[in-house]
Amino acid sequence: MTVHTITVNINGEDELVEVPGHWTLLQMLRYRMGLTGTKNGCAGGECGACTVMLNGAPVNSCMVLGVECDEAEIITVEGLSQDGQLDPVQDAIIEAGGVQCGFCTPGVLISARALLDRTPNPTEAEIQDALVGNLCRCTGYVRIIEGIKQAAKLQKT
């Protein structure tokens, strides 16, 4: 088991991380960096609870090796708010009531942020498509979708 030392920017901070070669990015974030906001729901790339932004694109962090992230930029749920100011997607999902058990929420928020970064005014269908990889068993998605619609409006103002 080879341990690699990589440089990675996580939530705006440059970090030097020692990561075993077979570890996923999810394992690296949770076990090395203490960033437990990113959740493990299936470890198979199927549920989206572990979604993070890797160089601006949403990925299932359970399907990426940690060592692949050398020189990469990663944003996790912990990095969405800045100086105590919530990101509009966080504010809006609270306002819409789109949080229940909260286990899918970090992944949902990252997918939403990535969507609004590339499509500031998404249609409902585009929101649904962006969330298709984020399974939620509690909410029925109704208020999550509503929240993302509101976030798009919020960030314009």
Q: What is the closest distance, in whole angstroms, from the C-beta atom of residue 86 to another protein in the complex? A: 7
38 vs 150 by CB, closer to another protein: 38
What gap in Å lies between CA 39 and CA 62, rounded to an integer? 10
What gap in Å lies between CA 82 and CA 96, rounded to an integer? 21
52 binds another protein (CB under 8 A): no
Mask: binding to another protein, 93-132, rule CB under 8 A, as x and -? Answer: xxx-x-xxxxxxxx--x--------------x--xxx-xx
Question: Using CB under 8 A, which of the segments 2-10, 45-53, 67-75, 113-121 binds another protein?
Answer: 45-53
9 vs 100 by CB, closer to another protein: 100
What gap in Å lies between CA 74 and CA 71, rounded to an integer? 10
Contact 105, 99 (CB under 8 A): yes
> Which one of 47, 64, 114, 151 is in contact with another protein (CB under 8 A)?
47
140 binds another protein (CB under 8 A): yes
10 binds another protein (CB under 8 A): no
Number of residues in contact with another protein, rule: CB under 8 A?
54
Question: Footprint of another protein on this chain (CB under 8 A)?
Answer: 30, 34-44, 46-47, 49, 76-78, 80-81, 86, 90, 93-95, 97, 99-106, 109, 124, 127-129, 131-145
